[in-house]
């Protein structure tokens, strides 16, 4: 109990009792901050305004506070100057990047091996060149500060003093920096169209040509911002007499902050010093409170706080007025109560201004309640309000890979734009919106220091709902009015969207993927195109197999010609292989999709085979090595000769017993023995396809038919284009000998036939568009040939790849015209191989191709109303970038 009643304590007690009554209401309205957010907000404000840093982690706060405390115990003024200058410069650097580079340097060979597996676009920004640059700047900064303070740091501020001369230079630099910054933007002060900004931005080349003049201006501004302005401000601070007061808390806090802010936030530091200089020039009376009680460091601290809160007040007041106006002008936001709410805001406008002032004073968000013109004050929160690393909670979707490919190129473009000043005054917490085609990107500035800026780039979802589509349409309208509709306007025009929360800044040329979709009507349903599809597929497949075998031969270090006769080769007669005997009945009486498709209304339902297929089988009965076995109808009485049953093998009896299904065959039970192929050229073994690829159960008649269809001229042309540079010794007639080798040609004939058997069956009919689509996507109905082909995964992938190339070739021939000669066809296929990825969007290889920045991507898609294909081009595009004032809400 207090023995004496203190009036101050009693008054405080009464105020707290009243405040405690409103705490539940403040908590319900979201104004009362949580303790962790309040603590982080306070620490962030102290770090930014009290220590001159940027919103960072707790470690940086402790280091910055330790620097200010350590400067208090330095005994000499020169030591204080050198310590503050050096620590301010070092703390303004990207220390995390420097630590990462130092870690990689110490790891040595381990780091170099890991760098090969790093994703594209990852690069340590800090190297020896940056180290030498920073060391040089630090050395000159220390020399300048120490020399100026030692020889001219004891004179008071007057009209002709060295410090006044430095202040005049800073005023001139501020005006020049502002002019150079505004020239880079599309709108001057956000109101007037910049006459120097390029008007024609329809193509990247034209825009870049007209942008060169502004880029030169940006280079000048970057030099002034990086080198000239910091050294000029160091000169002003080193000449100040307040540094003579040793062991002063105000001097340690104020000057430690400003010596770091010179490098950490150069533009704001330049503005603060100019304001303090003008005030000192105008107020020479030493008896005033400003000159008597405050040193230069504390003056700069007060000016910085006043500048920040004043800018927030203006921005939030503009935001509140924009909400009031749009609640009536926008039809979708207009409600029955809108007029009443606007009237109440006008009547109680002083209260609204008070709310805005409190929000700006606390640096807290100003929240419109349910987007209505009813404003609440949010609780103070730090700028870095996320719990983990930026992007850790990102949602992965189909568009994620495109943003991953875009980010490195966008980061380079943002680096140039930030250095040139095209984005205006970028401070931690600033928001930017990027728009290109049907995508949006959100950029948040996290931290900024000397020659670096950390941003968080987020890819937003596509226009899934009508609200998103309306918002994207409004964004497009603002950007198009600023960048695309300026060709026939006046030299200086007004910004029709002045006061909008989104202000267009500039256009960034970025390399990304542009999606172009086209309909396949008239191409995939054309009988003429589908008629040539099989012939083109054979040519493409031959090219694919030759390239596969040729690349595989390059991996062989030495040729073992003596062992070539011991390797399995294509059998001279496919009927002699043991596997054909076990599969003869399946080929004879297959109930696969190929067989079912040939049924007609005139066919005998109870017949042993379909009519058309049965006649073909009788003519091509060379595969049958066992007596002909007819499958009985389930439930009927079998009247077959018992002698035949005794001659049948158990496996054939199994096929006979089960007529409507094909049993699984134990492939490890019986080893296929293929007769030896005798090549006429000893080097033919280099281009020989694997033995397991030549075991397809195809009739001999189909082999003879494929020999007639096989493009021998195309085959010889492909062999003539091979160089075999990897062979140390080769005969001069090597290519001619390979062309004349009939055994090698027979291998390719049978390999091509095996793939055609798996994808198209044994029929020579023209494939339907639905079959082409299924073959492209890999969803072909089951058949014996497909079952065999899928058991050879590598061959199946080659066949699928060849079919997709063939489909792309069909689209190109229908769009651009036929291929004139073999040379053009080979160049076209090589272009597909090197510059294209032809597949499906859902493929994992598609994502890899995007990250590897393949120039072109081709995919086939299906819509309920139409069949379409999509081509993604990796080209330079212009991204519209605008500054958003949503920081007043976040």
> Phi/psi of residue 871, each to 5°?
-120, 125
- Contact at 8 Å (CB) between 878 and 204? yes
Q: Which residues contact 769 (CB under 8 A, 6 or more apart)?
A: 524, 525, 530, 867
Spell out the alpha helix ranges (H) of 330-462: 338-347, 349-362, 400-420
Q: How confident is the model over 258-271, as a mean pLDDT?
A: 93
Q: How confident is the model over 526-534, as a mean pLDDT?
A: 86
Rg of the chain over Cα atoms, rounded to whole angstroms, equals 39
What is the per-residue pLDDT for 632?
34
The pLDDT > 70 percentage for the chain reads: 77
Q: How confident is the model over 360-368, as a mean pLDDT?
A: 88
What b/e sequence results for 228-238 when a residue is b if at least 16 CB atoms lie within 10 Å of its CB, and e otherwise? ebbebbbbbbb
Burial class (CB in 10 A: 0-12, 13-18, 19+), 380: buried
What is the per-residue pLDDT for 507?
86
Nearest partner of 342 among 362, 326, 359, 318, judged by Cα: 326
CA gap 575, 695 in Å, rounded:
11
Q: Which residues contact 96 (CB under 8 A, 6 or more apart)?
A: none
Nearest partner of 272 among 259, 284, 287, 285, judged by Cα: 259
Tell me the two tokens of residue 842: 């859902």
Nearest partner of 518 among 792, 818, 859, judged by Cα: 859
Q: How confident is the model over 272-295, as a mean pLDDT?
A: 80
Report DSSP letters for 186-236, one per residue. Answer: SEETTTEEPTTS-S--SSHHHHHHHHHHHHHHHHHHHHIIIIIHHHHHHHH
CA gap 268, 36 in Å, rounded:
29
What b/e sequence results for 576-603 when a residue is b if at least 16 CB atoms lie within 10 Å of its CB, and e otherwise? ebebbbbbbbbbbbbebebbebbeeeee
CA gap 608, 629 in Å, rounded:
10
Structure confidence by residue, pLDDT tens digits, 794-823: 999 999 999 999 999 999 998 888 888 899
Q: Are strands 856-862 and 867-884 parallel, antiparallel or unpaired?
A: antiparallel
Report DSSP letters for 689-734, one per residue. Answer: PPGGGG-----HHHHHHHHHHS-HHHHHHHHHT---TT-SS--TTH
Q: Which of 42-46, 54-58, 91-95, 222-226 has the lowest mean pLDDT?
A: 54-58
pTM: predicted TM-score of the whole model, two decimal places:
0.74
The pLDDT > 90 percentage for the chain reads: 18
Give, in degrees to the nearest 5, the angle at Cα 423 between 418 and 424.
105
- Contact at 8 Å (CB) between 539 and 825? yes
Which residue bears the tokens 């001097």? 251
What is the per-residue pLDDT for 114?
47
Distances (CA, A) of 44 to 54, 138, 363: 8, 27, 11
Nearest partner of 852 among 397, 408, 459, 547, judged by Cα: 408
Of 317 and 492, the structure prediction assigns the larger pLDDT to 317
Tell me the two tokens of residue 253: 């806090």
- Contact at 8 Å (CB) between 421 and 221? yes
CA gap 230, 93 in Å, rounded:
14
Nearest partner of 603 among 612, 592, 594, 616, judged by Cα: 612
Torsion, Cα 166 167 170 174, to 10 degrees, reads -170
Report which secondary-structure segment, H or E, holds 675: none
- Contact at 8 Å (CB) between 783 and 592? yes
- Contact at 8 Å (CB) between 800 and 778? yes
The alpha carbon of residue 665 and the mean position of all alpha carbons in its chain are separated, in whole angstroms, by 47
CA gap 349, 34 in Å, rounded:
30
State the pLDDT confidence band at 139, using cuts at 50, 70 and 90.
very high
- Contact at 8 Å (CB) between 277 and 173? no
Q: Residue 511's beta-bridge partner residues?
A: 876
CA gap 458, 444 in Å, rounded:
8
Q: How confident is the model over 88-105, as a mean pLDDT?
A: 86
Torsion, Cα 187 192 193 197, to 10 degrees, reads -60
CA gap 360, 305 in Å, rounded:
11
CA gap 543, 855 in Å, rounded:
22
Q: Are strands 856-862 and 836-839 parallel, antiparallel or unpaired?
A: parallel
Highest mean pLDDT among 384-393, 719-728, 867-876: 719-728
Tell me the two tokens of residue 24: 């539940």
What b/e sequence results for 820-837 when a residue is b if at least 16 CB atoms lie within 10 Å of its CB, and e otherwise? eebeebbebbeebeeebb
* Residue 49: DSSP 8-state: I
What is the per-residue pLDDT for 287?
67
Structure confidence by residue, pLDDT tens digits, 683-700: 788 888 888 887 888 888
CA gap 153, 237 in Å, rounded:
9
State the pLDDT confidence band at 17, using cuts at 50, 70 and 90.
confident
Structure confidence by residue, pLDDT tens digits, 474-484: 888 888 888 87
Tell me the two tokens of residue 698: 């195809």
Report DSSP letters for 57-71, one per residue. Answer: -HHHHHHHHHHHHHH
Nearest partner of 78 among 324, 210, 203, 244, judged by Cα: 244
CA gap 239, 242 in Å, rounded:
9
State the pLDDT confidence band at 649, using cuts at 50, 70 and 90.
very low
Give, in degrees to the nearest 5, the angle at Cα 364 between 362 and 369.
130
Of 497 and 513, the structure prediction assigns the larger pLDDT to 513
Q: Which of 336-340, 386-390, 445-449 has the lowest mean pLDDT?
A: 386-390
What b/e sequence results for 102-112 when a residue is b if at least 16 CB atoms lie within 10 Å of its CB, and e otherwise? eebeeeeeeee
Q: Which of 150-154, 256-260, 439-443 has the lowest mean pLDDT?
A: 150-154
- Contact at 8 Å (CB) between 91 and 139? no
Of 824 and 887, the structure prediction assigns the larger pLDDT to 824
Of 440 and 85, the structure prediction assigns the larger pLDDT to 85
> Phi/psi of residue 42, each to 5°?
-65, -40
Q: Residue 368's beta-bridge partner residues?
A: 375
Distances (CA, A) of 801 to 439, 582, 699, 714, 766: 31, 31, 25, 19, 20
State the pLDDT confidence band at 309, using cuts at 50, 70 and 90.
very high
Structure confidence by residue, pLDDT tens digits, 586-620: 333 333 434 333 333 343 322 333 333 333 433 33
What b/e sequence results for 649-676 when a residue is b if at least 16 CB atoms lie within 10 Å of its CB, and e otherwise? eebbeebbeeeeebeebeeeeeeeebee
Report which secondary-structure segment, H or E, holds 503: strand 502-519
Structure confidence by residue, pLDDT tens digits, 724-781: 776 767 777 788 888 888 888 888 888 888 888 888 887 778 888 888 888 888 888 8
- Contact at 8 Å (CB) between 432 and 505? yes
What mean pLDDT is reported for the chain?
77
């Amino acid at each position: 109990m207090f023995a004496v009643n203190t009036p101050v304590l009693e008054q405080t007690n009464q105020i707290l009792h009243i405040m405690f009554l409103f705490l539940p209401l403040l908590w319900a309205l979201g104004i009362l901050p949580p303790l962790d957010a309040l603590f982080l907000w306070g620490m962030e404000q102290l770090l930014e305004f009290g220590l001159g840093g940027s919103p960072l982690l707790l470690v940086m706060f402790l280091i910055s506070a330790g620097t200010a405390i350590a400067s208090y115990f330095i005994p000499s003024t020169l030591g204080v100057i050198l310590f503050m200058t050096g620590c301010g410069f070092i703390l303004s650097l990207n220390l995390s990047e420097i630590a990462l580079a130092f870690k990689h340097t110490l790891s040595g060979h381990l780091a170099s091996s890991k760098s090969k597996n790093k994703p594209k676009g990852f690069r340590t920004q800090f190297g020896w060149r940056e180290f030498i640059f920073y060391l040089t700047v630090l050395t000159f900064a220390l020399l300048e500060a120490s020399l100026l303070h030692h020889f001219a740091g004891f004179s008071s501020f007057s009209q002709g003093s060295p410090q006044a001369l430095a202040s005049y230079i800073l005023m001139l630099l501020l005006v020049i920096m502002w002019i150079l910054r505004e020239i880079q933007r599309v709108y001057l002060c956000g109101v007037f169209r910049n006459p120097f900004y390029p008007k024609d931005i329809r193509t990247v080349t034209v825009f870049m040509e007209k942008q060169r003049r502004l880029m030169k201006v940006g280079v000048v501004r970057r030099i002034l911002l990086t080198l000239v302005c910091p050294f000029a401000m160091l000169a002003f601070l080193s000449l100040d007499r307040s540094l003579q007061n040793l062991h002063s808390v105000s001097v340690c806090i104020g000057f430690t902050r400003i010596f770091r802010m010179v490098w950490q936030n150069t533009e704001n530091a330049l503005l603060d010093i100019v304001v303090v200089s003008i005030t000192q020039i105008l107020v020479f009376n030493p008896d005033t409170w400003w000159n008597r009680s405050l040193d230069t460091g504390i003056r700069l601290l007060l000016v910085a706080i006043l500048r920040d809160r004043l800018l927030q007040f203006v921005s939030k007041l503009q935001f509140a007025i924009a909400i009031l106006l749009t609640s009536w002008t926008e039809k979708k936001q207009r409600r029955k109560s809108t007029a009443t709410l606007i009237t109440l805001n006008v009547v109680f406008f002083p209260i609204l201004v008070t709310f805005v002032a409190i929000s700006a004073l606390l640096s807290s968000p100003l929240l419109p309640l349910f987007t209505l013109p009813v404003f609440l004050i949010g609780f103070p929160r730090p700028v870095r309000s996320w719990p983990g690393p930026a992007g850790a909670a990102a949602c992965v979707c189909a568009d994620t890979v495109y943003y991953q490919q875009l980010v490195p190129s966008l980061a380079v473009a943002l680096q140039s734009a930030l250095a040139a000043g095209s984005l205006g005054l970028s401070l931690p917490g600033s928001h930017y919106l990027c728009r290109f085609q049907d995508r949006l990107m959100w950029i948040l500035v996290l931290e900024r220091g000397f020659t670096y800026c950390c941003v968080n780039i987020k890819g937003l979802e596509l226009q899934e709902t009508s609200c998103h589509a309306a918002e994207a349409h409004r964004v497009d309208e603002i950007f198009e009015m600023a960048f695309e509709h300026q060709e026939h306007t006046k030299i200086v025009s007004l910004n029709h969207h002045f006061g909008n929360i989104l202000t267009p800044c500039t256009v960034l040329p970025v390399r990304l993927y542009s999606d172009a979709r086209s309909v396949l009507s008239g191409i995939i349903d054309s009988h003429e195109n589908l008629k040539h599809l099989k012939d083109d597929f054979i040519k493409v497949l031959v090219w694919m197999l030759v390239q596969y075998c040729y690349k595989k031969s390059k991996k062989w270090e030495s040729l073992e010609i003596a062992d070539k006769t011991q390797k399995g080769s294509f059998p001279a007669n496919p009927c002699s292989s043991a596997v054909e005997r076990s599969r003869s009945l399946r080929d004879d009486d297959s109930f696969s999709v190929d067989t079912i498709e040939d049924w007609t209304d005139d066919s005998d339902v109870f017949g042993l085979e379909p009519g058309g297929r049965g006649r073909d089988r009788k003519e091509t009965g060379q595969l049958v090595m066992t007596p002909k076995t007819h499958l009985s109808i389930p439930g009927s009485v079998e009247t077959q000769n018992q002698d035949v049953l005794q001659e049948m093998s158990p496996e054939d009896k199994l096929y006979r017993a089960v007529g409507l299904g094909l049993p699984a065959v134990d492939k490890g039970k019986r080893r296929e023995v293929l007769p030896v192929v005798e090549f006429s050229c000893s080097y033919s073994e280099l281009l020989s396809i694997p033995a397991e690829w030549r075991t397809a159960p195809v009739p001999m008649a189909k082999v003879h038919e494929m020999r007639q269809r096989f493009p021998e001229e195309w085959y010889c042309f492909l062999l003539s284009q091979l160089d075999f540079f990897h062979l140390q010794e080769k005969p001069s007639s090597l290519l001619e000998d390979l062309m004349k080798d009939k055994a090698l040609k027979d291998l390719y004939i049978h390999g091509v036939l095996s793939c055609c058997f798996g994808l198209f069956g044994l029929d020579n009919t023209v494939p339907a568009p639905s079959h082409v689509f299924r073959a492209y996507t890999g969803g072909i109905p089951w058949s014996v040939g497909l079952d065999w082909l899928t058991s050879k995964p590598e061959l199946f992938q080659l066949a699928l790849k060849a079919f997709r190339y063939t489909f792309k070739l069909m689209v190109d021939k229908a769009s651009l015209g036929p291929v004139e000669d073999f040379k053009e066809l080979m160049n076209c296929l090589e272009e597909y191989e090197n510059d294209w990825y032809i597949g499906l969007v859902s493929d994992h290889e598609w994502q890899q191709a995007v990250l590897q920045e393949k120039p072109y991507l081709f995919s086939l898609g299906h819509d309920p109303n139409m069949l379409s294909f999509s081509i993604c081009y990796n080209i330079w595009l212009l991204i519209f970038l605008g500054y958003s004032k949503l920081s007043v809400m976040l």
